[in-house]
């Protein structure tokens, strides 16, 4: 772990990289105040549990949090860092 970094951040991956059906915990949003505020207003805040409903590579990116379904643009999904549930098998980029 690097000094000053949270352990969760080092294990985090982009929300956009998760396949359909994967559940994860939101760690942080890499964006400006406007994006962070917009996502928080929709219920996507640090600590929230999200489940990927649709990530087909094209079209909208759909997640669920609580009883809500939220449609995100792919650019937004690429700015959200999450930690997948331990049981989730998520493809990791090769080093």
pLDDT digits (tens, 9 = 90+) for 17-74: 999 999 999 999 999 999 999 999 999 999 999 999 999 877 889 999 999 999 999 9
Beta bridge partners of 26: 82
pTM (whole model) above 0.75: yes
The pLDDT, as a whole number, for residue 93 is 53
Instruction: Specify the CATH superfamily of domain 18-84.
Output: Ferrous iron transport protein A (FeoA) (2.30.30.90)
Alpha-carbon distance 40 to 48, whole Å? 10
pLDDT (0 to 100) of residue 7: 52
Confidence of residue 4 (pLDDT cuts 50, 70, 90): very low
Q: Which residue has the tokens 């909208």?
A: 60
Q: Which DSSP state fits 77?
A: H
In the chain, domain spans: 18-84
């Amino acid at each position: 772990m690097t000094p000053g970094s949270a352990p969760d951040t080092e294990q985090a991956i982009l929300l956009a990289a998760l396949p359909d059906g994967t559940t994860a915990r939101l760690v942080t949003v890499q964006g400006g105040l406007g994006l962070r505020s917009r996502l928080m207003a929709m219920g996507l805040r640090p600590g929230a549990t999200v489940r990927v409903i649709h990530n087909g590579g094209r079209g909208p990116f759909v997640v669920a949090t609580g009883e809500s379904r939220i449609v995100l643009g792919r650019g937004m999904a690429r700015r959200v860092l999450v930690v997948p549930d331990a049981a989730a098998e998520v493809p990791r980029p090769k080093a």
